[in-house]
């Protein structure tokens, strides 16, 4: 399954992202999670890849489970930071044997463990990794974009120039980091088009799952909590998990309505290995004949 071909259709592409379960208890729940969300017939699923290859084996097993056992269209992530070319080729060879046709390429975060030593030939930038993969494989490649700029970038304009390099080196579609104000995304797309980036740019959707998680992810990912959302969060008790979930579903559904009205090529849901929010949002949008 080559993702770039999906975005050539007129209907919005629905995709969902998962991270590999890290222990037996999470593994036990994961099957039910996939069964629930795959019943919505998403166009594809994607599986993340831990910093420095920390989930390398788990990512492979999860991709294998989705493709071989579940027969679901699946994209595999690869994060290049810290890994040498031979390690990267071993990972990609494994995915190729499974029948993976699309790889989502990111630089990846630096592992937080003190004893981690990156390979001396590790790629410093996603653009370099994309170029390497393109020279050795026939995968369709995707890459990440950041509507508010990458947290390490000097500016949004600088970050978009780096994104253009990824595209020039072979990436064929972009999935955006999540945001809580659609204007961030629309402004980002406009700036990308002016820089000559013509590939599909897909908005990432991250519903509020809990107040604590939303605040933590905002700092880590550089995605602003807008004044409107902050006011709604402040109106909730920190212990009101049900209220936070309901708020997240309603807020994200409204975001999706606005994005679909502007003709986005798809919606990419960051599920955080949860099913309820994504299921409710997609069901609601379909009831409104927006999907």
CATH number at residue 158: 3.20.20.220
The pLDDT assigned to 52 comes to 62
Is residue 86 scored above 70 in pLDDT?
yes
The pLDDT assigned to 26 comes to 87
226 part of a folded domain: no
Mean pLDDT for the stretch of residues 222-234: 95
Q: Which residue has the higher pLDDT, 110 or 9?
A: 9
pTM, to two decimals? 0.95
175 part of a folded domain: yes
The pLDDT assigned to 120 comes to 80
| Whether 113 contacts 84, CB under 8 Å | no
**Count of structural domains within the chain:** 1
Provide the 8-state DSSP code for 44. Answer: E
Query: Locate tokens 């993340």: which residue?
Result: 48
CA distances from 84 to 35, 56, 171, 247 (A): 36, 13, 21, 43
Q: Helix 85-98 and helix 56-64: axis angle, to 10°?
A: 10
Tens-place pLDDT, residues 263-287 = 999 999 999 999 999 999 999 999 9
The pLDDT assigned to 53 comes to 59
Q: Is 17 in the active site?
A: yes
Query: Locate tokens 């990308």: which residue?
Result: 192
260 part of a folded domain: no
14 part of a folded domain: yes
223 part of a folded domain: no
User: 121 is in which domain, residue-wise?
Assistant: 9-207+265-273
CA distances from 272 to 19, 48, 185, 249 (A): 7, 11, 21, 14
pLDDT tier at 186, thresholds 50, 70, 90: very high
Per the prediction, the chain carries an average pLDDT of 93
For residues 111 and 82, give the distance between their C-alpha atoms in angstroms, rounded to a whole number: 9
pLDDT tier at 141, thresholds 50, 70, 90: very high
- Of 17, 101, 148, 172, the active-site residue reads 17
Is residue 110 scored above 80 in pLDDT?
no
Is residue 1 scored above 90 in pLDDT?
no
| Strand boundaries in the chain, DSSP class E | 13-18, 44-47, 74-79, 102-106, 140-145, 173-178, 201-205, 266-270
For residue 38, list its beta bridge partners. none
For residues 178 and 162, give the distance between their C-alpha atoms in angstroms, rounded to a whole number: 18
212 part of a folded domain: no
Tens-place pLDDT, residues 2-56 = 999 999 988 999 999 999 998 888 888 999 999 999 999 999 999 998 766 566 7
The pLDDT assigned to 54 comes to 62
248 part of a folded domain: no
221 part of a folded domain: no
């Amino acid at each position: 399954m080559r993702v770039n071909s999906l975005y050539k259709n007129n209907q919005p592409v629905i995709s969902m992202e998962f991270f590999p379960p890290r222990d037996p208890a999470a593994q036990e729940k994961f099957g039910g999670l996939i069964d629930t969300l795959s019943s919505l017939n998403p166009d594809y699923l994607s599986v993340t890849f831990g910093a420095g290859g920390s989930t390398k084996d788990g990512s492979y097993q999860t991709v294998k489970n989705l493709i071989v056992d579940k027969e679901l269209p699946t994209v595999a992530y690869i994060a290049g930071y810290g890994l040498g070319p031979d390690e990267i080729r071993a990972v990609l060879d494994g995915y190729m044997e499974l029948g993976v046709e699309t790889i989502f390429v990111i630089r990846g975060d630096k592992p937080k463990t003190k004893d981690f030593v990156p390979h001396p030939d590790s790629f410093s930038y996603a653009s370099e990794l994309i170029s390497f993969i393109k020279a050795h494989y026939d995968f369709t490649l995707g890459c990440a974009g950041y509507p508010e700029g990458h947290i390490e970038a000097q500016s949004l304009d600088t970050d978009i120039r780096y994104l253009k390099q990824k595209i020039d080196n072979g990436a064929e579609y972009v999935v955006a980091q999540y945001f809580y104000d659609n204007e961030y995304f629309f402004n980002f797309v406009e700036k990308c088009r002016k820089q000559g980036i013509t590939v599909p740019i897909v908005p990432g959707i991250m519903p509020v799952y809990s107040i604590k998680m939303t605040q933590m992810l905002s700092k880590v990912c550089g995605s602003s909590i807008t004044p409107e959302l902050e006011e709604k969060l402040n109106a909730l008790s920190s212990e009101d998990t049900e209220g936070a979930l309901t708020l997240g579903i309603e807020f994200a559904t409204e975001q999706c309505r606005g994005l679909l009205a502007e003709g986005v090529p798809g919606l990419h849901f960051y599920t955080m290995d949860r099913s309820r929010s994504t299921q409710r949002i997609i069901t609601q949008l379909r009831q409104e004949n927006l999907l």
